[in-house]
Amino acid sequence: MNLTAIFAIYRMEMLRFARTILQSFIAPVLSTSLYFVVFGTAIGSRIDQVEGVSYGAFIVPGLIMLSIMTQGISNASFAIYFPKFIGTVYEILSAPVSFLEITIGYVGAAATKSLFIGAVILATAHLFVDIQITHPLAMVAFMGLTCLSFALFGFIIGIWARNFEQLQLIPLLVVTPLVFLGGAFYSVSMLPPAWQTVTLFNPVVYLISGFRWSFFGLADVPVGLSLLAIAGFTLLCLGIIWWIFRTGYRLRD
Amino acid sequence: MAPILEVEGLQKRYASGHEALSGVDLTIEKGEILALLGPNGAGKTTLISIICGLVTPSGGQVRVDGHDIRHDYRKARALIGLVPQEIALEPFETVWNLVRFSRGLFGKPRDDAHLEAVLRSLSLWDKRDAKVHELSGGMKRRVLIAKALAHEPKILFLDEPTAGVDVELRRGMWEVVEGLRARGVTIILTTHYIEEAEEIADRVAVINRGQILLVEEKARLMARMGRKELRIELQHRIDALPDRFAAQGLELIHDGNAILYHYDTRGERTGIASLLAELAEEGIVLRDIVTRQSSLEEIFVGLVTEDAA
């Protein structure tokens, strides 16, 4: 394993993050505050509690998930798309590094950025509502795995995209609707029975449910199923990336 | 001398069906400078891209210092530095961070002294903290070279290194290349400027339509394929050459004010002495005589045109 190369890629990506640290810090704080004002105060005043948890606190895991999923995708997709766009990808492809080392470097950095943003949102949420974390280790594990898997997914999108429009296509048209419809701001049990069945086909439901369980001990689907879903998604993404580097798809031809 | 690069039967057929390389064989020895010449679309960049790992070959083999580029890619690629044709640099990063990144990417431990030496040799040390977008075009090209040298490669590929740069900077680049050769780095250079190959290459390879047409020492190539011409400027303009000169292939040029005579340097006799005597017999008075060796460019154009025919 070429650890020096992994660190070089990781460091370079984190340097880019450091250049925009203020933006990276302020944006999630602002958006979280807005969500609390709109959802927590305006809507929350009409919803007393959800399964014994105040609505303001109930939406915190969903808010964190929404941000780390979208940030994981955008950070990782941009990280590999930008070198392709400006041509510097030649250096990565001509270096004595394996696909796994390249992936660890880029995806590791993107996941770190998402974790940072998740932590900022959690800290901001503390200013608005009281939050209890029933299973802190599970919370960290769910958050880490989600950051990792969605960064892997973003990495695939970044390799696949041929232009900026394609780079935005899947996050905007697929991921954001799935997250909003995945129980970020409501419990699946609040839906009519037919929609409860439909929503179980949304993979994001399993991630948000497991994450919310780590906070309040409440889950829409069994926690084991949530872990299985996230592990399966991670493995699927890793498999696709392995195939991309083996065939050179959109990289070496 | 032992070969540092061996290319055998290298083929590349793109998905579109275009055959960029059709069985290229090439051997490059340690410490030499090889100029790879060819018209646009000849296969130069594809050949370099395959050797460096940017493009997957359709067939054939490439070994770098004995290491196969596919099965032993780590060892093979660690020996190669690539300076691409296009200026491809992260615009908001500093020169220092970029060269440090390149060294780390190739798995080499941090060595600030080496990076400093590289930057100094390319007159970039004063710009180490400058961001790329603040640099001139010539400096950016040198940053590309610095990045390629950061991991101490044994072979350096320069793909059109002086494309679009001014004459002064081009000469500066040649000095850099000479300096690298002095340190034992093997250099493979593609260029559109034949003058560049003529100036710095030890050997010349000509590629056209995906095939190597020839590989030869530059001096030997120019002696073998080069022709000389003799231009005789006349004291008085003439309307036509006397008939006796028709068989000698003389040309009347400059509106009858000069005569052009082509001759082979390898011939036993050049025929110059007898020609001058015959001109004197015809009463043609000479004003000046100039000889000129045909350039590598003329040889190159001749080869490629011949291949196309």
Q: What is the pLDDT of residues A188-203, one digit of tens each?
A: 888 888 888 888 888 8
Residue B176 has a pLDDT of: 82
Residue A77 in this model has a pLDDT that exceeds 90: yes
Q: What is the pLDDT of residues A215-253, one digit of tens each?
A: 988 888 899 998 898 889 899 999 999 998 888 788 776
Q: Which residue has the tokens 């970029």?
A: B98
Amino acid at A38: V
Q: Positive or negative, the Cα torsion across B151, B154, B159, B164?
A: positive
Query: Out of A12, A87, A94, whose CB is closest to B101?
Result: A12
Helix pair A55-86, A136-160: axis angle to 10 deg: 30
- Asked whether the beta carbons of residue B88 and residue A9 sit closer than 8 angstroms, the reply is no
Residue A38 has a pLDDT of: 79
SS3 B90: coil
pLDDT-based confidence at residue A44 (cuts at 50, 70, 90): low
Residue B227 has a pLDDT of: 67
- Asked whether the beta carbons of residue B104 and residue A8 sit closer than 8 angstroms, the reply is yes
Q: Which tokens go with B97?
A: 């961070």
Cβ contacts of B78 on chain A, cutoff 8 Å? 96
Residue B41 has a pLDDT of: 82
Residue A103 in this model has a pLDDT that exceeds 80: yes
Q: Are A218 and A212 in contact (CB under 8 A)?
A: yes
- Asked whether the beta carbons of residue B107 and residue A15 sit closer than 8 angstroms, the reply is no
For residue B123, the distance in angstroms to the closest alpha carbon of chain A comes to 22
Its ipTM equals 0.84
Q: Which H helix or E strand runs over B9?
A: strand B3-13
- Asked whether the beta carbons of residue B104 and residue A4 sit closer than 8 angstroms, the reply is yes
pLDDT lower than 50: segments of chain B: none
Q: What is the pLDDT of residues A120-179, one digit of tens each?
A: 889 888 888 888 889 999 999 999 999 999 999 999 999 999 999 888 888 888 888 888
What residues pair up with B230 in beta bridges, in sequence order? Answer: B261, B291
Domains assigned to chain B = 3-223 (3.40.50.300), 227-293 (3.30.70)
Residue A53 has a pLDDT of: 81
Residue B299 has a pLDDT of: 67
Most confident of A35-44, A61-70, A238-247, B108-117: B108-117
For residue A21, the distance in angstroms to the closest alpha carbon of chain B comes to 15
Residue A93 has a pLDDT of: 92
Question: Hey, of A90, A92, A247, which one would you mutate to test binding to chain B, going by the most B CBs within 10 A of its CB?
Answer: A90
Query: Nearest CA to B107 among A10, A106, A2?
Result: A2
Strands B33-37 and B59-64: unpaired
SS3 B170: helix
